[in-house]
Structure 1
């Protein structure tokens, strides 16, 4: 019997904005050349985005194309604020060609298969706590923010901004989750909205996502604990690609190899091997061979 907590962040969280931009650039390159090599990091702060990394593509991808891809990602998230605006933000592109030394180890040639882009360890995990075969705390933390984002994009909650975080603590009895002991939601909001008003906007989303009867005590339901969250996104806190690796995986319920996913083509095994290991773990649990399954793989570069 124990309590376990996981957090999630919204698409407008500064680090997630950077993940989104980096992955949009991966999509851009793979759309022009499926054999592209991409490792692009993004930094975001007040009205400023910097792209840095190494790429290779059989077609010409110009800095202007990278800039427009970044702006489109920011616009889709919904940032049109004084401190961070898809149209007005400065975008610096510091992207150059992939190292020939790395390419030599990765590329298939002659009798050599395509090699791993780096050494490292990766994990995949699955369990029976939810229908998605994900640990319950991260599953419900994600669900709350997904619900809030859908309401914001549809116009049902126009007072909310893109930046948000959630945190769900669940009580386990005999190793199974049975209810929430506390729920924390911080969400960016329009000027003039007080803490209690934000609380009541958020409440139905939490109630709808958690199973019936799982809601935490009212005294443990924390919404915007600082009392105000108008300044948000990269204007409120700088963002970086790859800084939410636990949010991206299992919320701390399983081991993590330390490598991020976003901004990387499939030769970067931090991404592709973690996806493959998750797929295999899901099949082990889905086939009822185990209640939970952890798979680890390890690579040498090349």
Structure 2
């Protein structure tokens, strides 16, 4: 008998050998339950029940032995399942992952909530700092994984580098902006308009400013923030233009601003970095692998 059949057998005894009632309790038909009993008795050549007028009456001596062991086996099986579940629910470890604010909003909002909900036994600490601050934390062994714009200038003998996607900047503007009718825009089209991006401590500021100065040397970034929401709000019914990494399609669907790509794209690589070491805890392995799978799946495209 397997564990399910042992449960059926116990239920028959508990229901005073009433097959109809026992079948209802275990959610199968009476004929199916009767067949389980017949198959075992015929297959093993052992009678488990005495019968009276064709109905089960009581346990035979062999049936009493089986009943005693069945109770013990089913109880142990339940204890085993509970122990396995408890072990699986234990915290398998924690991970400290550093992500710059610009990248966190652009690429990780779709990933992190779902990962956390499916891995409740993994503790995740998200450190949201500038790229330079995250590099310093990584070098001080205060991070397990860091997401940085490449090149991160980290020693390849000390850190593993994995390129997880190619990012691109876009211009965000009001739906009523002078440039709203253009399909794509030139960098020179920005001349004369107030341009904003993320604050100076973040890599995006320097990438964008360098590109602007290439288009017109006297270019300046006139307003900054660490907040996506604030920067996008500044475009509402104004002539301001915000330059930020392209957001996921779901995040970019708003009714007051437009996302415009540049004819001459400004792209960048995002790298996944972690210290090279002989042992990674299970939580680090699971998160690192899930990040790679997520971006390789093309879900962000």
Q: Scaled by the length of structure 1, what TM-score is found? A: 0.24
State the structure with more CA Rg. 2
Query: Higher relative CO (CA 8 A, sep ≥ 6), structure 1 or 2?
Result: 1
